[in-house]
Amino acid sequence: MPVMVWIHGGAFETGSAGNPLADGGVLARRGELVVVSLQYRTGIIGFCDLPGAAPNRGLLDLVLGLRWVAENVAAFGGDPYGITLFGSSAGGVAVAALLAIADVRPLIRRAIVQSAGLECFHTPLTASGVRAEVARAMGVDDGKLRERLETAPVDAILAAQVEAGQRIEQATNGIAFAPWLESEPIVAHPLGVIARGGAKGVPLLVGTNRDEMKLLHLRSLPAAPHALSRSGLTTQLDALFGSVKSGDRALALYEGLASGRCPTPRDVLDAVLTDLHFRVPSARLARAHARHEPHTYGYVFGFRIPLAPFYGTPHAMEIPFVFGTTAVPPMPLFLGASARLRAMARVMQDVWIAFARTGDPGTAATGPWPQITEDRTPVMVLDEDVHVDPEFLAEEMPFWDDILASARPVPSVDRASTIPSNAKLPSLMPPALDLEG
C-alpha cells in the first residue's frame, strides 16, 4: 500500500503527532494506504542553538523518523518505496527542508507542502540571538544554557520559551524557533537547493488557504472587518515594507485587484500578509521546482467557515478536511455538519489520496489538474465550485518580485543588542537566494 507520512505544524514551538484533527484513520481507510505521523522536538529543545549540542535537533528527529518508516513500514503492509511526505504550516516547511537534504531525498517518492511560511528559516546570527534571549529568560549566561536546561523543571523551560518567544517575535515579526541555515542537516536554504534541481524526480503538490492570516493576525488586530482604518492601514504597510513608496504601491495594487479580494482596509492587510508569508513563497517554491520536475501542482483551499464567515478560509483549516475529521470537536462549532461540508471533505481526501497513489492530484471531482511551469502558476481552487485559476497571483507577483529583489536581509536578533519592547521590524525573504539556478 502507498504510505503517507505526516508532519504536524505549530510554528516549530508547539503541536503534536497525536492531534485528533490529524488522526489518519479515516484517510487510511478511504485511500487503502498507511498513514504515519511523526513526532519531533520543538521549541527550545528542538530549535535553539545550544553549545555542544547537535544543531536543528527537531529536523534530525524527522530524518530519523522517516528512515524508521522506510525500514519498517513493510511490516504494516506499506510500500517503503511509495512514501508521500506531507505537512502543514511548520510541517510544510519541514517537508521542504527534508526535500533539500541529499541523503534524505531518496526516501521521498512524493511530497505535499501545505500552507508553509518558507521565509521562516533563521540565519546563524539569528540563531545565536535566539539562544541569548532564551538564556536571559532562563537567568543564565548563554554559554551555560545547555547545562541549565538539563536540570531545569519542564515548567521552567516552557515559561522561558514563552517569554523569549514573545520578545523575539515582537522584534522580528517572525517565528521565534525555526530551523537555522548553514548547519546540519540544512546547509543551504531549501528554496535555493530546489531551484537548482535538488528535488528533481519528486512530484510536488503545494498550496495555501485563501485567507491564511485572518486568524493569525488576531493577536494584533480585533476581528471586526472594519476595525482598521485606511490611515491605520497605510501606517502598517509603510512599517512592513520600510518605505512609504512601497507601502503606497501595495495599497494601490491590492485595493485595485480585479478579483475584488480586498473590500476593506483589514482585508488589504490580511491579503498582503497572506501573500508575503504564504502564497508568494509557495508560488516561488512551485515555480523553482517546476524547472526540473514537470509533475508540480498547486492548489488554493477556499471553503469558508460557515459559522464564522469573516475568517474566510484561515490557516490550518484544510487539515480536518484532508483527514476527514470535520466532525471531531471543536470543529462542528465552526463548520457545522452540512452535506456540503462532508462533500468538500471527500473531495480533499480524494485529491491527497490520488496524489499519493499516482503523483497526479486530479480526480473525477477536479478534472485534469494543470501542471505549474517556471513561468505560470495555474492552481486548482478547492471550494464548493472546484475550478482552475489559470493565472494565480498574476496581478500580485510582479510587485512581490520587485520587493523581494530589493529587500534588505531578514532582521536578526543580535545577541549583542537589547531588543526594545516596542521593536517592529519587517520580515522579508532574504534577497540572496539563488532562484536562477
C-alpha cell at 229: 482604518
Residue 406 annotated as catalytic: no
C-alpha cell at 320: 480536518
Rounded Cα–Cα distance for residues 240 and 428 (Å): 9
Task: Please give the biggest Cα pair distance in the chain.
Answer: 61
The reply to whether omega before 361 is within 30° of 0 (cis) is no
Rounded Cα–Cα distance for residues 356 and 373 (Å): 21
Q: Among residues 270, 269, 400, 382, which one has the least CA distance to residue 322? A: 382
Residue 289 annotated as catalytic: no
Q: Would you give the DSSP letter of residue 300?
A: E
What Rg, from alpha-carbon coordinates, does the chain have? 21
| Annotated active-site residue in 13, 133, 212, 396 | 212
* 191 neighbors 435 (Cβ within 8 angstroms): yes
Taking each helix axis from N to C terminus, what angle separates 244-255 and 230-241, rounded to the nearest 10 degrees? 130
| Annotated active-site residue in 8, 37, 88, 89 | 89
Rounded Cα–Cα distance for residues 286 and 205 (Å): 8
Residue 10's SS3 state is coil
Q: Residue by residue, what is the 3-state secondary structure of 228-294?
A: CCHHHHHHHHHHHHCCHHHHHHHHHHHHCCCCCCCCCHHHHHHHHHHHHHHHHHHHHHHHHHHCCCC
| Annotated active-site residue in 315, 318, 396, 427 | 315
Residue partners of 276: CB distance under 8 A and separation at least 6: 119, 240, 400, 428
Q: Among residues 98, 107, 275, 112, which one has the least CA distance to residue 194? A: 98
Strand partners of residue 77: none
Rounded Cα–Cα distance for residues 336 and 70 (Å): 39
Q: CB-based burial of residue 222 (10 Å sphere; 0-12 exposed, 13-18 middle, 19+ buried)?
A: exposed
Rounded Cα–Cα distance for residues 206 and 368 (Å): 16
Give catalytic residues, as residue numbers.
89, 212, 315
